[in-house]
Chains A and B, each alone.
Chain A
Amino acid sequence: MSVTNLLENWSEFRHKHPVEDVPHDPYKWAMSIDMDACTGCNACSVACYAENNLPVVGKEKYAHGQSMHWIRIERYWPEDDREFPDQGAQFLPMMCQQCEAAPCETVCPVGATNHTADGLNSQIYNRCIGSRYCSANCPFKVRYFNWYDYPTTENVWPAEMVQQLNPDITLRSKGVMEKCTFCIQRIRAGERSVKNEGRILRDGEVQTACQQVCPTNAITFGNLIDPDSKVHQKWKAQRVELDVDEQVKDKEEGGSELRGYRILEELRPYPSVMYMERVRESAI
Chain B
Amino acid sequence: MKDIREDIAWAKINKDVLKSLESPRKLFWVIIICALAVFGVGIGCEVYQYNTGLGVANMDNPHVWGLYIASFIFWIGMSHSGTLLSAILHLMHADWRKPIYRFAEAMTTFSLMTAGLFVAVHLGRLWQLYYALPYPNERGIWPNFQSPLLWDAMAIFTYLSSSILFLYVGMIPDLAICRDNIHTGWRKKLYTLLSLGWEGTDRQWRNFRVTYLTIACFLIPLAVSVHSIVASDFAMSQQPGWHITSFPPYFVAGALYSGCAAIITLFIILRYVFKFEEYMTLPILKKTVRLTFAISMVWTYLNLIEYATVWYSHDEVAKAVLLQKATGTYAPFWWMMNFLGSIVPLILAFKRFQTHIPVLLTVSLLLNVGMWLERWMIVAPTFSHGYYPWTWDHDQWPSMVQWGIVFGSFGWFTFLFMVFCKVFPSVSMYEVKEMVYHRSLATKRLEDTRMEASEKGAH
Contact = CB atoms under 8 A, between A and B. Distances in A.
Interface of A: 1-3, 6, 10-11, 14-15, 61, 64-67, 72, 74, 76, 94, 103, 106-111, 127-133, 135-137, 139-141, 143-149, 153, 174-177, 264, 267
Nearest to A147: B55
Interface of B: 52-55, 58-65, 122-126, 128-129, 131-132, 140-150, 153, 233, 236-239, 383, 386-391, 394, 396
Contacts, number: 149
B15 to A, nearest CB: 51
A65 B146 contact: no
A267 B52 contact: no
Contacts of B62: 65, 135, 141
A1 B145 CA distance: 12
A54 to B, nearest CB: 13
10 contacts: A1-B142, A14-B146, A65-B396, A110-B144, A111-B144, A129-B123, A133-B233, A136-B64, A137-B238, A149-B52
A174 B237 contact: no
A132 B65 contact: yes
A109, A145, A176: residue with the most chain B Cβ atoms closer than 10 Å: A109
Contact of A72 (B54, B64, B150, B390): B390
Q: Which 9 A-B pairs have the closest CB atoms?
A: A130-B124, A147-B55, A175-B124, A65-B60, A111-B144, A132-B64, A109-B149, A148-B53, A175-B125
The A interface, classified by DSSP as helix, strand, loop or mixed, is loop
A145 B54 contact: yes
A64 B66 CA distance: 14
Contact of B394 (A6, A65, A129): A65
A3 B238 CA distance: 29
A144 B236 contact: no
Contacts of A140: 387-388
A8 to B, nearest CB: 13
A213 to B, nearest CB: 22
Contact of A131 (B63, B149, B383, B391): B149
Given A107-B149, A141-B386, 13 more contacts: A108-B147, A109-B132, A109-B147, A127-B131, A129-B129, A132-B64, A135-B61, A137-B237, A139-B238, A141-B62, A145-B54, A145-B64, A174-B124
Given A6-B142, A137-B239, A129 B128 contact: yes
Contact of B390 (A94, A144, A175, A177): A94
A67 B61 contact: yes
Given A107-B237, A135-B61, A139-B386, A128 B125 contact: yes
A61 to B, nearest CB: 7
A146 B390 CA distance: 20
Nearest to A15: B146
